[in-house]
Amino acid sequence: MKLQKIKWITLMFALGAVLMLGACKKKVAPPPPPAPPPPPAPTASLSASPNSVPKGQPTTLSWQTTNATDVSIDGIGAVQPNGSQQVTPADSTTYHLTAKGAGGTQEATARVTVAAPPPQAAVPSATEEELFSQSVKDIYFDYDKADIRPDQRAALQGDAQFLGQHPNIPFKVEGHCDERGSTEYNLALGTSRADAVKSALTQAGLPANRVNTISLGKEQPFCNEHTEECWQQNRRAHFVYQK
Amino acid sequence: MNRSKFKVDIRCNPIHVAEVQVTHRMSPRFYFIPQTRAIITSLLLLILALPCFSQQDWIRTGTGLGVEKIRLAVPDFKPSNQDPKNPELLKAFNDTLWNDLDNAGIFDLVSKSFNPLEVPGQPTEVKFEVWSAPPPNASMLAFGNLGVSGNTVMVQGWLYDVKNVTSPQVLGKQYTDVATTDAARLIAHKFADEIIFRLGGGVQGIAESSIYFVSDRTGHKEIWAMDYDGSNQRAITHLGSISLSPRISPDGSRLAFSSLTKTSWEIMMYSLELGRAVAFPRFGGTNLSPAWAPDGTRLTFSSSRTGTSEIYMVDASGGSLKRLTNAKGPDVSPTWNRKTGAQLAFVSGRSGLPQIYTMEADGTNVQRMTDQGYAVSPSWAPNGQFLTFSWMRKYGPGAPGSNDIYLMDIASKQWVQLTHDGGRNDFPSWSPDGRHIVFQSSRSGSEQIWTMLADGTKVQQLTFTGHNTQPNWSWK
């Protein structure tokens, strides 16, 4: 009985000690309400316009900062607190602005996407089309075959996902073949390739009437060399954005 | 050390018209089905003990080997008056007549340098002994005259059996037409066809026939036409899209082909009489390779309207659609048995690489004809006995594959290779007389149209501008 009592007392004491300690801590670090006026924290914003360019084309970075004394952009260096500058990134780049002031440090980023070799007559405003061409991958086939290769399934899944997320993007699937074999048989083979992709897309949930297909056989090759490398380039289902 | 002599009779109707003899060494290339050996009536196999030339694995063949061709002298026609237009028309006439008779493959033409100095323009001027004796040593003599007066040209032509002095005339013809070089060429074609008809066993000549083909020389693949000898090349369509696979109707009045529209490949129908496209239903999907039944009342083509490309049949206006095949792989390029109109040959990928198959016109009794490789583009011979097609026999990595034109006897499945000269050779199509084959070849560096005799000899290039493909020879 006595032992139990001691235990209880010890426990209570310990609890009290914990409470006391907590209270003490609160007392030790109180917010300094009347402290000297704090320097205002800096603000910063950075934007690129346009934020997506064909390779080789410039874009304009614009930034605004307040309460900053030291502003710099990675890759460009120290800059004025407010300003703009033309840049021509070689690849897709994330620009990183650091604004330091007495009140602290603020960061801002802007992403510039560089599209691979500019398609001829790219419409600069058609960002949806650019998104399409960046996100949708063509599907490649084996010689004289129209079934989806295992190594192409991931790409096709990505295509289905993107197209599912953008239900308003109009597109068609072109079936292409390499230069070998007859014109007529290759047009039939191209049809089968486009249809194989269509059936995979509809299985992934796209409505069938949204997937238009056309075969181009060996009529419009992507590559004109007589090599296996080039033939592989031509054996594909090509996704085309339809305006 | 044995060489076989493989003799192919090309028969039309009951008349025996020509012989194509093909010599070939017994080798693995020579495909033979023993069971059917007994029933081969058209193929005669004679084993001859001949020295074998070890380097070459094929033997160039010739028409009528061992059979003497008729030795025919064709001196230039003479002017019958002094009109200034005569030389131009005479040149067109003489060149065309010579080429037609040379192309026929049944004559041994007397070289013009063997001709005597004085050639006849009239029957009275013929000196029989000069022509029948060496050097001309001719059996037959074709001669005549041409004269322009005003807007018309008149041609008189004769064919003489110079060894029959008492009654030499085989043929005497007179033609009148407008005085143009085109008309002079046409008259020469007609006269040549008369001679071939008389001396060639009663088979109509082909000098007035046409070849339809695809050319990209305007920047787009359009359907073009030309005379059988390559002259008079002209565009038929101006669609600015991609047009392929022209097939002329048996009566020559309509041209079916396949063209790329905005959303599909459709069979198009063009009336050569009206000079414009006429209505034909659109089926959606990929519709390709139309083929006329020999009576002109039906067409077969390949359509993907329900998925895989299959062979369908319609009537001549595109109605009564009926499906003939149902297989997993694509079925394309049907061609009718031109003799019976009851069978079709076509290309199918049902067993992997495309092969040639035959079936009844209702889709039953499907038979595989080729045993390996990549075989496409069948064309059925007018006599009903042979198929010609493009074959890459040994397809695969490391195989020295080349597309060549082959001839197969349908009953026995025996085949013989017709082209050996490199390049990709495709889309063979028979001439109306069954003696010639037109095809496309890349042997000159680009795809062009060539003709040859049905035994592979006398190869001639017909087109030279742009890329020219998919020739289709008219039915008459």
- Contact check, Cβ <8 Å, B304/A219: no
The whole-angstrom separation of Cα B223 and Cα B215 is 6
In chain A, % helix, strand, coil (3-state, to 5) comes to 35, 30, 35
- Most distant CA atoms of chain A, gap in Å: 103
The whole-angstrom separation of Cα B59 and Cα A136 is 54
Is residue A113 predicted with pLDDT exceeding 90? Answer: no
A80-94, B2-16, B227-241, B315-329: least confident range: B2-16
pTM over 0.80: no
B225 shares a domain with B151? no
Chain A residues whose beta carbon lies within 8 Å of the beta carbon of residue B263? 212, 214
Q: Are A52 and A130 in contact (CB under 8 A)?
A: yes
- The mean pLDDT of B327-347, rounded to a whole number, is 95
Share of chain A above pLDDT 70, in %: 82
Q: What is the pLDDT of residues B433-445, one digit of tens each?
A: 999 999 999 999 9
Tell me which of B170, B199, B228 is where a domain ends.
B199
B90 shares a domain with B128? yes
Q: How many CB atoms lie within 10 A of CB A93?
A: 17
B76 shares a domain with B43? no
- The mean pLDDT of B335-353, rounded to a whole number, is 96
* CB proximity list for B292: less than 8 A, separation 6 or greater: B247, B248, B249, B250, B256, B298, B299, B336
Residues 144-183 of A with CB under 8 A from B: 144, 181-183
Task: For residue B265, report the phi and psi dihedrals to the nearest 5 degrees.
Answer: -100, 125
The pLDDT value given to residue B191: 96
Provide ipTM, 2 decimals: 0.81
- For an interface test with A, the pick among B264, B282, B286 (most A C-beta atoms closer than 10 Å) comes out as B286
Q: What is the pLDDT of residues B104-142, one digit of tens each?
A: 888 999 999 998 888 999 999 999 999 999 899 999 999
Query: DSSP labels for B65-81?
Result: TTSPPEEEE-PPPEESS
Q: What is the pLDDT of residues A8-43, one digit of tens each?
A: 776 776 665 555 555 544 455 555 566 666 777 888
The whole-angstrom separation of Cα B390 and Cα B345 is 13
Is residue A230 predicted with pLDDT exceeding 70? Answer: yes
- Tell me the C-alpha to C-alpha distance, in Å, between residue B119 and each of A93, A129, B418: 87, 76, 39
Tokens of A62: 């614009």
- B348 in A contact zone (CB under 8 Å): no
Give the residue numbers spanning the domain of B214.
Answer: 210-473
- A188 in B contact zone (CB under 8 Å): yes
The pLDDT value given to residue B6: 44
- The mean pLDDT of A46-75, rounded to a whole number, is 80
The pLDDT value given to residue A217: 95
The pLDDT value given to residue B3: 41
Beta bridge partners of B311: B302
Is residue B152 predicted with pLDDT exceeding 90? Answer: yes
Is residue B294 predicted with pLDDT exceeding 90? Answer: yes
Categorize the per-residue pLDDT at B285 as very low, low, confident or very high, splitting at 50, 70 and 90.
very high
Tokens of B126: 């013929």
Q: How many CB atoms lie within 10 A of CB A125?
A: 9
B187 three-state secondary structure: helix
B241 shares a domain with B178? no
Is residue B23 predicted with pLDDT exceeding 50? Answer: no
How many domains in chain B?
Answer: 3
Q: Are B456 and B23 in contact (CB under 8 A)?
A: no
The pLDDT value given to residue A102: 80
* Domain assignment of residue B11, yes or no: yes
The pLDDT value given to residue A3: 60
The pLDDT value given to residue A180: 86
Of A183, A212, A216, the CB nearest to B469: A183
Categorize the per-residue pLDDT at B322 as very low, low, confident or very high, splitting at 50, 70 and 90.
very high
Spatial CA neighbour of A133 closest among A102, A99, A171, A107: A171
Task: For residue A124, report the phi and psi dihedrals to the nearest 5 degrees.
Answer: -65, -30
Write the CATH number for B437.
2.120.10.30
Tokens of A55: 């390779």
Categorize the per-residue pLDDT at B53 as very low, low, confident or very high, splitting at 50, 70 and 90.
very low
Is residue A177 predicted with pLDDT exceeding 60? Answer: yes
Tell me which of B63, B83, B113 is where a domain ends.
B63
The whole-angstrom separation of Cα B82 and Cα B149 is 9
The pLDDT value given to residue B32: 40
- B353 in A contact zone (CB under 8 Å): yes
Determine the length of chain A.
Answer: 243
Categorize the per-residue pLDDT at A47 as very low, low, confident or very high, splitting at 50, 70 and 90.
confident
The pLDDT value given to residue A130: 87
> A97: buried, middle or exposed (CB in 10 Å: 19+, 13-18, 0-12)?
buried
B320 shares a domain with B419? yes
* Domain assignment of residue B205, yes or no: no
- One-letter amino acid at A221 equals P
The pLDDT value given to residue B402: 78
Beta bridge partners of B400: none
B189 shares a domain with B248? no
* CB proximity list for B139: less than 8 A, separation 6 or greater: B70, B71, B72, B132, B161, B162, B163
- For an interface test with B, the pick among A142, A143, A191, A226 (most B C-beta atoms closer than 10 Å) comes out as A191
B234 shares a domain with B149? no
* CB proximity list for A19: less than 8 A, separation 6 or greater: none
Instruction: Find the residue in A nearest to B287 (Cα).
Output: A188
- The mean pLDDT of B374-390, rounded to a whole number, is 95
- B245 in A contact zone (CB under 8 Å): yes
Share of chain B above pLDDT 70, in %: 85
The whole-angstrom separation of Cα B180 and Cα B309 is 48
- B429 in A contact zone (CB under 8 Å): no
Is residue B221 predicted with pLDDT exceeding 90? Answer: yes
Tell me which of B48, B63, B78 is where a domain ends.
B63
B234 shares a domain with B140? no
Is residue A175 predicted with pLDDT exceeding 50? Answer: yes
The pLDDT value given to residue B66: 57
The pLDDT value given to residue B8: 45
More confident of the two residues B209 and B397: B209
- The mean pLDDT of A53-71, rounded to a whole number, is 80
Residues 93-112 of A with CB under 8 A from B: none
- B428 in A contact zone (CB under 8 Å): no
**How many contacts, defined by CB atoms under 8 Å, are there between A and B?**
80
* CB proximity list for B143: less than 8 A, separation 6 or greater: B74, B75, B77, B119, B120, B121, B126, B157, B158, B160
- Contact check, Cβ <8 Å, A184/B289: yes
Mean pLDDT rounded to a whole number for chain A = 82
B3-17, B227-241, B330-344: least confident range: B3-17
Place of tokens 């059988």: B228
Write the CATH number for B109.
3.40.50.10070
Spatial CA neighbour of B359 closest among B347, B376, B373, B371: B347
Q: What is the pLDDT of residues B173-208, one digit of tens each?
A: 999 999 999 999 999 999 999 999 999 888 888 989
> A91: buried, middle or exposed (CB in 10 Å: 19+, 13-18, 0-12)?
exposed
Share of chain B above pLDDT 90, in %: 76
Is residue B24 predicted with pLDDT exceeding 50? Answer: no
B123 shares a domain with B236? no
Q: Supply the angle between the helices B181-199 and B86-103 in degrees, to the nearest 10.
A: 30
B315 shares a domain with B364? yes
The whole-angstrom separation of Cα B1 and Cα B240 is 57
* Domain assignment of residue B122, yes or no: yes
The pLDDT value given to residue B393: 86
Query: What domains lie within chain A, and their CATH numbers?
Result: 43-115 (2.60.40.2470), 127-241 (3.30.1330.60)
Q: Are B218 and B263 in contact (CB under 8 A)?
A: no
Is residue A203 predicted with pLDDT exceeding 60? Answer: yes
- B461 in A contact zone (CB under 8 Å): no
- For an interface test with A, the pick among B215, B332, B395, B467 (most A C-beta atoms closer than 10 Å) comes out as B332
The whole-angstrom separation of Cα B78 and Cα B369 is 53
Is residue A64 predicted with pLDDT exceeding 60? Answer: yes
Tokens of B290: 């139309």
Q: Which residues of B239-267 are buried (b: 16+ CB within 10 A; e: fewer)?
A: beebbbbbbbbbeeebbbbbbbeeebbbb
Spatial CA neighbour of B127 closest among B141, B113, B107: B141
- From A215's Cα to the closest Cα of chain B, the distance in A is 7
* Domain assignment of residue B204, yes or no: no
Categorize the per-residue pLDDT at A50 as very low, low, confident or very high, splitting at 50, 70 and 90.
confident
Q: Are B322 and B314 in contact (CB under 8 A)?
A: yes
- The mean pLDDT of B247-267, rounded to a whole number, is 96
